[in-house]
Structure 1
Amino acid sequence: MTDKESDATETESPVVLAVDNEKRVVQAFELWLNDDYSVETATSGQEALNQMHDGVDVVLLDRHMPGLSGEDVLEGIRKQGYDCHVAMVTAVDPDFDIVEMPFDYYVSKPVDEPTLQSIITELLELREYEDKVSELYRVCQKITTLEAKKPRQRLNEDERYQELLEARETLQATTRELVTTREMSAFEDIFEAKQ
């Protein structure tokens, strides 16, 4: 494999940013995840914010760090408008203060490799679903706009409109498939009220 091919492969892998002030923790995460993801690490909140970029897909974020806390980093990520999912991976037990925190997943340490892999897989699947739903929404809006302003005959004759209809059908099938291929038990665990 040439260097150019290697670079292309690396950029195609989802990017995970692991943030923890304990160097051994981010090293463990990197070791566990390196085969499947492009892993970047930071050992402080400020370093994490400095390393953030649009290519980051998932952030694994500790809450309790000196200087900028995980909560500060999370707030900075959201204020700067980065479109990534954040999993809080922390020894801090959750309390009602998490209600206002804009993270996607919360897991208490210690965490093992299968759990971490599962969390990232779930967040990436969620991202794919969100992307497809957003794309479907845009296509449907274009169809609705054209149908409101153009006569049916012109619509039927226009190749671009027909392509929109085909795109809508494909995206509808894809989003249905993404939902049905998810383990139903995962949805039940998340969405069913626990007694």
Structure 2
Amino acid sequence: MGDSTPLPNALVVDDEKEVADAYALRLRGLCEIETVYDGRTALEETEQRAVDIVLLDRHMPGLSGDEVLEKLDDRDYYGQVIMVTAIDPGFDVLDMPFDDYLCKPIDREDVREAVTQQCTVLGYETLGEYFRVESTRRVIAAEVATEDRETHDEYQETIARASELEERVRRLLDDAETLLDQFEDIGREGQ
């Protein structure tokens, strides 16, 4: 990812401060990292800003990682969750809505690779959503008068959503510029 391109946002959640801080250190240069030490703060953090990747410990006092995961799923959290835990998985994980599962202790490169992989997955999902929203916005822009567009609330929300999605794609994908340029090159308006 280039120097001027913003990095993906990662949230490291582990009640063991030293462990959380070690993962944050391992991700330096790969992500913008926020570190929290309990489940409630993790949920607050995902509500306050766009968090692309959550590295989540399962076993924490208070609100466990499993409970945080369930609440994120209930809230339709738009990001990827990597469980990073010393708890050996059993059949209970079959119904858990995480995107990757790493058992401690975890090698530095494995953490970086898992985060990179999940950023790519989220990036392409977001790119698809951007293409859908932006093509809709463009067809309306081409066919509806400016004054009508300016006063239409849903259209204004579509503009904001397209901008938000484009920003996230640029954060998540190394080849975002090429993919967005290819989208731009397609003539969507009639002759």
| TM-score over 0.5 for the pair | yes
2:10 aligns with 16
More helix by proportion, 1 or 2? 1
Note if 1:129 corresponds to 2:127: no
- Greater RCO (Cα-Cα under 8 Å, separation 6 or more): 2
State the alpha-carbon separation in 1 of the partners of residues 13 and 87 from structure 2: 15
Superposition RMSD on alpha carbons, in Å? 2.9
1:74 aligns with 69
Identity %: 39
**Are the counterparts in 2 of residues 54 and 82 from structure 1 also a CA contact under 8 Å?**
no
Note if 1:170 corresponds to 2:182: yes
Superposition deviation, residue 54 in structure 1: 3.8
Structure 1 unaligned spans of 5+: 1-8, 144-166, 174-195
State the alpha-carbon separation in 1 of the partners of residues 137 and 20 from structure 2: 45
State the alpha-carbon separation in 2 of the partners of residues 129 and 71 from structure 1: 26
Q: TM-score, normalised by structure 2?
A: 0.65
1:177 aligns with none
Structure 2 unaligned spans of 5+: 139-178, 186-191
- Give the 3 Å change call, closer, same or farther, for CA 168–63 of structure 1 in structure 2: closer
Kindly provide the amino acid, as one letter, of the partner of residue 170 in structure 1. Answer: Q
Kindly provide the amino acid, as one letter, of the partner of residue 123 in structure 2. Answer: E
1:66-90 per-residue CA deviation (whole Å, 9 max, x = no partner) reads 1111010111112223211000000
2:42 pairs, out of 48, 56, 61, with: 48
1:98 aligns with 93
| Number of residue pairs the alignment of both structures matches | 143
SS in 2 for 1:87: strand
Superposition deviation, residue 37 in structure 1: 1.3
Kindly provide the amino acid, as one letter, of the partner of residue 19 in structure 1. Answer: V
Q: TM-score, normalised by structure 1?
A: 0.64
- Give the 3 Å change call, closer, same or farther, for CA 168–70 of structure 1 in structure 2: closer
SS in 1 for 2:18: helix
Which protein is bigger by CA-based radius of gyration?
1
Greater Cα offset, 17-26 or 50-59: 50-59
State the alpha-carbon separation in 2 of the partners of residues 168 and 116 from structure 1: 28
